[in-house]
Amino acid sequence: MRLLAPADVLGAGSNPDHHRDRFKTADLRVPIAKDMTAEDSTLKNYIENCRLEHWVEEARKWAGEKLKQEKKNKALNEEAVQGVTATSMNAH
């Protein structure tokens, strides 16, 4: 899985032809494409005025650090369980 930058998804779904496989008739595709164009406008505003690219990158870094921390904690817990199991088996 790859995280896309906000600017990389601008224009996604803004063309009625993008929805041809899911919606067979233009009366469904055209309004959806118009809505996606409006969504693009909002997204572009966040990118340009709210530093969205920066915050997405910060969230990606934080998530990566949390994942590493969780993996480390899991490994430590597994070692602790193995140690308790070995101690328990040696006691009997």
Q: Say whether 58 sits in a helix, a strand or coil.
A: helix
Residue-level pLDDT at 63: 95
How far is the C-alpha of 40 from the C-alpha of 38, rounded, in Å?
A: 5
35 and 64 housed in the same domain: no
| Rounded Cα distance, 63 and 51, in Å | 19
70 and 43 together in one domain = no
Residue range(s) defining the domain that contains residue 60? 56-92
For residues 44 and 64, membership in a common domain is answered with: no
Question: Against a cut of 0.75, is the pTM above it?
Answer: no
Residue 6, judged by CB atoms within 10 A of its CB (0-12, 13-18, 19+), counts as middle
* 24-70: pLDDT as tens digits: 898 999 999 999 999 999 999 999 999 999 999 999 999 999 999 99
DSSP class of 48: H
User: Does 69 share its domain with 92?
Assistant: yes
Domain count, the chain: 2
Residue ending a domain, among 50, 66, 84, is 50
Same domain as 40, residue 5: yes
| Between residues 69 and 79, the one the model is more confident about | 69
